[in-house]
Structure 1
Amino acid sequence: MPFRITTQPFGPLPSGTASLTEYLLEHTESGEFITVIPEFGGILRRLVLRKGRRLFALLKGPETPQELLADESYASALLYPFPSRIRHGVYHFEGEDFALKLNEMKRDNSIHGFVHGRAFSVVSQDVTPTSARLTLRYDYEGDTIGYPFPFILTVTYELMQANLLAHGSNPEADKMCALRIHYAAQNISTTRCPVAFGWHPYFTFTEESVDHLLLSLPGRTPISLDEHRIPNGRHPFEPASDINLHGIELDSAFAIEPTTEPDAPEPYAETVLTSLSTGVRLVVGQQTGEGKLNYLVCYTPTRRDSVAIEPLTANVDAFNNGEGLVVLDPWEELSGTIWVRLD
């Protein structure tokens, strides 16, 4: 069986605690693999996929435990119970005011939820002839300031044969792998709660400069952001188009228009990053539709070595503006799927 799951030490944290364990999901024949660190936010640290005879390292992430702790860019972070920003960290929900901890001090915001860096547990590992799948779980008791709503967040990472993805394919897909991520968040409190989910990967082609990349966006409505990166309006709808990233800086939010393909099994949208030097296309897909991933943020960090392509279920500051916000009744669930493939 070409797929397998193994573990390896990632190294001790500087605090002197026990060494982190990294899970390796790989296709032993093609050389493609992903690595996941459950004990630190359940992050996907490495993603290596093949196109033709060449392997591409597609994620920019921390290389050591020290970098993991020092990283302030939220590389590959799971963003829950809210992605992006909440102005002043304050929101009003069902007659009550709540104040979250500020963790973006320069803009006076709370940002990206609070599960990043927390310990997830491994609940299952499955290997089949066509995939390797790792499922993680984080149980939250409602003890973080500003969010007293207990939940269970479950995330499944799957390295799989690319031709098994429901969205898109090519003649070589049966010889290539793809990544699929499924998330499910369940409200286990006795009251309703506001929720939104996002993922924050930084994509690259083995550290190729952003200036050599082309970004292809789906149809979208750009969201206007103020100096605090909080929405203050919307621009007119823009059809699907390409952006040559040479000299371009992005920190942009969009409401996404799903595909209109008549044979699509479900609504979805795909963002494509193309290496102009090799012609290889990295496709980031997100399930759209009611309560799904209908928003997107794209960001180019100042180091110019990667592009953040962030699928989100809600707009920036959704806890206040309500755009894309889901309110779960007790025992209700928020879920969806993200995928990454080469084309």
Structure 2
Amino acid sequence: MFTIETRPLGPIEGTKPFTDYILANKDTGEWATILPEFGGILRQLVLRKGETRYTLINSPGSAQALLADETYASALLYPFPSRVFQGIYRFEGQAYALPMNETMRNNALHGFVHPRPFRVTRQETTPRHALLAIVYEYAGDVPGYPFPFSLTVTYVLSASGLTLAFEALNTGTTRSPAAFGWHPYFTLNNATTDDLTLTLPTQTVITLDEHMIANGTQPAPPDRLGTFSLNKVELDTPWVATFSDGNGKKQAKTVLAWPSEAVSLEITQSDSLGYVVVYTPSRRDSIAVEPQTANVNAFNSGEGLTILNPGDTLSGSIGVQLV
């Protein structure tokens, strides 16, 4: 039986509590929590393989910790993921300057949807799934991005795990540049990263300069092809995704495995998400796998960038499943 319940998270001094939405499969004990008022993030995810339940999402556990967090845990990244060098770009002959929020490297980072409040537009439970749809409507008020949009994100918990689907609509009267990404930190019951393996859907690595700005591509090194151990491996690297047919559609699949437990986490991305960034935090208890529709600094390079006419949409989906 699938259910949706709510509970307060917080409060923090001077603010009201956030409302956590809990999507649950009561038959299996699997569940996910979504926080619409804080950037629409997936805050927790627990899925089951056999008799064991695995905590899969690593994010701050309290409202206070969320507000202090600087890791973009589970953040929805729009209208650009990753970086725009110095926050400056040109679009259709006009120069724009975004706020720089990565001052150490002189970049604009990860858009500005996170952690703005979304509102719930739909809740649905059936014998097969629990669904929560949320929307953030932007009026064009951030310096450097005067392009209104509506971003809808739909989370679905089912027997196949969790799916995140997004649709960004250009609600303005002019064309607009657009790119989407998701920034989850995955874990397998907080196992040390050194005990895990990774399989990436790619044969091409994106090279970066000293500002973490893309400056080319090269073949992936042999020790990053196929499945490789994460023991003592440090990554903060974007890759060009390679797609194959799956369930009648093109998709790319990243696999994070815990061999000693015989369990794997599969992260699939639809073919609108042509890139994936992988980052291993120094605490070694999680790994960020970040599907993106565009490359680093796409607002300048155009690599993977979508140009939306008024009324057009950018859409795609990401799936998370235990096997």
Alignment TM-score, normalising by the size of structure 1: 0.92
Match of 1:156 in 2: 154
Q: Paired residue for 1:248?
A: 233
Deviations 1:192-244 (A, max 9, x none): 00000000000001111110110111133100011111011110267951121
SS of 1:105's partner is coil
Q: How does 1:68-79 map to 2 (within 5 A)?
A: 68-79=66-77
Shift of 1:74: 0.1
Whole-angstrom CA distance in 2 between matches of 1:216 and 1:332: 34
Aligned partner (choices 288, 298, 301) of residue 321 of structure 1: 301
In the aligned structure 2, how far is the partner of 1:65 from the partner of 1:120?
A: 16
SS at match of 2:66: helix
State the distance in 2 between where 1:37 and 1:231 align: 32
* Among 215, 240, 248, the residue aligned to 1:265: 248
Separation (CA, whole Å) in 1 of partners of 2:276 and 2:191: 23
C-alpha contact (below 8 Å) 2:277/2:289 kept by paired residues? yes
Query: Of 46, 49, 55, which residue of structure 1 is paired with 2:47?
Result: 49
Match status 1:6 vs 2:23: no
* Structure 2: distance between partners of 1:256 and 1:186: 24
AA at the equivalent of 2:6: T
Match of 1:337 in 2: 317
How many angstroms apart in 2 are the aligned matches of 1:220 and 1:188? Answer: 37
* Range with bigger deviation, 263-272 or 315-324: 263-272
Give secondary structure in 2 for the equivalent of 1:107: coil
Q: Does 1:89 align with 2:74?
A: no
Rounded Cα–Cα distance in structure 2 between residues aligned with 1:242 and 1:192: 42
- Give the counterpart letter for 1:320 in structure 2: N
Deviation at 1:253, TM superposition (A): 0.5
Equivalents in 2 of 1:251, 1:123: separation in Å?
35
SS in 1 for 2:60: coil
Paired with 1:36 and 1:278, the residues of 2 have a C-alpha distance of: 28
Q: Secondary structure at the match of 2:283?
A: coil
Shift of 1:266: 1.2
Aligned to 1:66: 64
Indicate conservation of the 8 Å contact 1:80/1:115, yes or no: yes
Q: Distance in 2 between matches of 1:129 and 1:243?
A: 39
State how far apart, in whole Å, the 2-side matches of 1:52 and 1:131 are: 19
Shift of 1:264: 4.3
How far, CA to CA, are the matches of 1:212 and 1:226 in structure 2? 30
Tell me, yes or no, if structure 1 residue 197 matches structure 2 residue 180: yes
CA contact (8 A) 2:10 2:64 kept: no
Aligned to 1:209: 192
Instruction: Describe the superposition over 1:93-120 as per-residue Cα deviations: whole angstroms up to 9, x where unpaired.
Output: 0000000001111111000000001000
Equivalent position of 2:284 in the other structure: 304
Alignment of 1:106-145 (within 5 A): 106-145=104-143
Matches of 2:206 and 2:97, distance apart in 1? 25
Report the alpha carbon displacement of residue 157 of structure 1 after superposing the two structures with TM.
0.3
Report if aligned partners of 1:219, 1:238 keep a CA contact under 8 Å in 2.
Answer: no
Can you give the 5+ residue segments of structure 2 that lack an aligned partner in the other structure?
A: none
| Root-mean-square deviation over aligned CA pairs | 1.1
Check whether the contact 2:202–2:239 (CA below 8 A) recurs between aligned residues. no
Identify the residue that residue 217 of structure 2 maps to in structure 1: 234
- Pairs aligned (count): 321
Report runs of 4+ in structure 1 exceeding 3 Å deviation.
Answer: 237-240
Unaligned stretches of 5+ residues in structure 1 = 163-177
1:281 aligns with: 264
Q: Do the aligned residues in 2 keep the contact of 1:269 with 1:286 (CA within 8 Å)?
A: yes
Tell me, in whole angstroms, the C-alpha distance in 2 between the residues paired with 1:144 and 1:70: 22
Provide the C-alpha distance between the structure 1 equivalents of 2:291 and 2:84, rounded to a whole number of angstroms: 17
Q: Which residue of structure 2 aligns with residue 222 of structure 1?
A: 205
Partner SS state of residue 267, structure 1: strand
Q: Structure 1, residues 145-166: CA drift from partner, whole Å, max 9, x if none? A: 110000000000000121xxxx
SS at match of 1:277: helix
State the shift of 1:274 in Å: 0.3
Residues 1:105 and 2:85 aligned together: no
Letter paired with 2:32? I
Offset at residue 39 of structure 1 (A)? 0.3
TM-score (norm. length: structure 2): 0.97
Q: Work out the CA distance in 2 between the residues paired with 1:13 and 1:338.
A: 32
Q: Return the alpha-carbon distance in structure 1 between the equivalents of residues 219 and 31 of structure 2.
A: 40
Q: Is the 8 A contact 1:76 1:200 kept in 2?
A: yes
